[in-house]
């Protein structure tokens, strides 16, 4: 352990109201501690930027999963294990279940939470591309009130986000779609499990008369934030998913993403793999119009 533990302070508020009151009194000083799977890694490495934490792990207000005809609303503390077990998520949001199943190992899936993944803001995180495809919305709360924001646009730069120092995420809402989607998810890493992604791709498309009527594409590990690729989507909307459309979309994707060389991979590899995954998404299942997750 490289950190000096007595320098840290951890409090356990009894409820959400008390948590928000402490955060309001000293904005930015107290940070939520959820499953701790990111925080503890930083602590161990002696790189934890904050010293005061409020454990929110036991707050019942952040644990619910509510299903209505319009949406499924997940408490901030929803873990990867809970995501994989929920029947509505398994049926209608397979990309998120797939991301959860490929996040770390069982221990991490039991402790790691969706809100923690969002706020940790790694561009290589696995759930955010699925959340972008599903048009997720976030409920942010503070002692002064609450607001809903679109998850698309929440990250404003590397580790930067539209979250005030006194706010925390209370809920993540996923609208339920009526029509059938072709859905595709693939994480490419060094190994099948326990690996951070070199590229992570999530896509969803609705077809009418053989044409792409609606499409969402989001990638991880190819830019300073997880990226929704709206220019590539625009090139494909209204097109038949054929070779010509795909070639144009691959060019658009190359313009839209900004992969880098780092210790995990190279920019060249990431670009090539991103384009190959786009091709697999669009062409491999060309004849089938059913939901499909690989
Ligand atoms: C061995 C291992 C393997 C991993 N593998 C993967 C992987 O394959 N893919 C992947 O994406 N991630 C992976 N992770 C990262 C991690 O598990 C996830 O990012 C996890 O979802 C973080 O959730 P948490 O509850 O543990 O967050 P914590 O560590 O408790 O918190 C993380 C950050 O989020 C903030 N926070 C937490 N909850 C809230 C809230 N409700 N509102 C506002 N801020 C909040 C905290 O203040 C902190 O800044 C791995 C981690 C480990 C240790």
d(CA 41, CA 43): 5
Which pairing describes strands 137-142 and 145-150: parallel, antiparallel, or unpaired?
Answer: antiparallel
Shortest-distance atom of ligand 1 to CA 126 = 11
Give the neighbor-by-neighbor strand order of the sheet with 9-11.
9-11, 52-55, 30-33
The pLDDT value recorded for residue 242 is 92
Query: Which tens digit of pLDDT belongs to each residue from 126-161?
Result: 999 999 999 999 999 999 999 999 999 999 999 999
Greatest alpha-carbon span in the chain: 65
The pLDDT score that the predictor gives to residue 283 is 85
| The three-state (H, E, C) secondary structure of the chain, written as one string | CCCCHHHCEEECCCCHHHHHHHHHHCCCCEEEECCCCCHHHHHHHCCCCCCEEEECCCCHHHCCEEECCCEEEEECCCEHHHHHHCHHHHHHCHHHHHHHHCCCCHHHHHHCEHHHHHHHCCCCCCHHHHHHHCCCEEEEEECCEEEEEECCCCEEECCEECCCCCCEEEEEEEECCCCCCEEEEEEECCCCCCCCCCEEEEEEEEEECCEEEEEEEEEECCCCCCEECHHHHHHHCCCCCCHHHHHHHHHHHHHHCCCCCCCCCCHHHHHHHHHHHHHHHHHHCCCCCCCCCC
Please, what sign has the CA dihedral across residues 51, 52, 58, 60?
negative
Q: In terms of DSSP bridges, do strands 160-161 and 168-175 run parallel, antiparallel, or are they unpaired?
A: unpaired
CA of 169 to the centre of ligand 1 (A): 13
Question: Model confidence over 157-167: pLDDT tens digits?
Answer: 999 999 999 99
- Write down the pLDDT at residue 262: 87
Question: Ligand 1 mean position to 36 CA, how many Å?
Answer: 7
First to last CA, the chain: 39
**Beta carbon of 115 within 6 Å of any ligand 1 atom:** yes
For the chain, residues with pLDDT lower than 70 are: 285-294
Q: How much is the pLDDT for 286?
A: 56
Atom 51 of ligand 1, residue of closest alpha carbon: 37
Q: Best of 16, 108, 165, 218 to mutate for ligand 1, by most ligand atoms within 8 A of CB?
A: 108
Please state, as a whole number, how many other Cβ atoms lie within 10 Å of the Cβ of residue 59.
24
C-alpha of residue 287 to centroid of ligand 1, in Å:
38
Note the pLDDT of residue 285.
59
Q: Is 14 buried (19+), middle (13-18) or exposed (0-12) by CB count in 10 A? A: exposed
- Predicted local confidence at residue 288, as pLDDT: 44
Q: Which protein residue has the closest C-alpha to ligand 1 atom 28?
A: 36
What are the tokens at 115?
């809100």
Do 24 and 66 touch, CB atoms closer than 8 A? Answer: no
115 vs 134: CA distance, rounded Å: 16
CB 117 less than 6 A from any atom of ligand 1:
yes
Token readout for 90 is 């398994």
Length reported for the chain: 294
List the structure tokens of 158: 């590397």
Q: From the CA of 105, how far away is ligand 1's center (Å)?
A: 13
With a 6 A CB cut-off, is 37 part of the ligand 1 pocket?
yes
Out of 10, 19, 31, 38, give the residue to mutate to test ligand 1, the one with the largest number of ligand atoms within 8 Å of its CB.
38
What residue owns the CA closest to ligand 1's atom 52? 37
């Amino acid at each position: 352990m490289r950190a000096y533990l007595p320098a840290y302070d951890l409090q356990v508020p009894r409820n959400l109201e008390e948590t928000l009151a402490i955060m309001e009194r000293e904005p930015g000083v107290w940070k939520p501690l959820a499953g701790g799977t990111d925080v503890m890694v930083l602590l161990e490495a002696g790189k934890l930027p904050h010293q005061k934490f409020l454990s929110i792990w036991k707050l019942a207000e952040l644990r619910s999963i509510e299903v209505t005809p319009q949406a499924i609303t997940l408490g901030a503390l929803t873990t990867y294990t809970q995501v994989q077990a929920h029947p509505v998520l398994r049926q209608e949001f397979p990309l998120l279940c797939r991301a959860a199943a490929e996040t770390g190992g069982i221990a991490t899936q039991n402790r790691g939470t969706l809100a923690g993944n969002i706020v940790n803001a790694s561009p290589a995180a696995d759930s955010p591309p699925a959340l972008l495809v599903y048009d997720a919305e976030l409920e942010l709360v503070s002692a002064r009130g609450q607001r809903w924001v679109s998850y698309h646009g929440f990250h404003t730069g590397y580790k930067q986000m539209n979250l005030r120092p006194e706010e925390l995420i209370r809920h993540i809402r996923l609208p339920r779609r009526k029509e059938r989607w072709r859905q595709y998810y693939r994480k490419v890493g060094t190994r099948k499990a326990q690996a951070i992604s070199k590229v992570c791709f999530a896509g969803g498309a609705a077809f009418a008369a053989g044409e792409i009527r609606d499409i969402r594409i989001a990638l991880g590990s190819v830019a300073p934030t997880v990226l929704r690729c709206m220019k590539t989507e625009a090139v494909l909307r209204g097109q038949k998913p054929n070779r010509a459309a795909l070639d144009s979309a691959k060019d658009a994707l190359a313009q839209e993403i900004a992969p880098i060389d780092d210790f995990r991979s190279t920019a060249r590899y990431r670009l090539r793999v991103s384009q190959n995954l786009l091709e697999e998404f669009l062409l491999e299942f060309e004849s089938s119009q059913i939901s499909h997750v690989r």
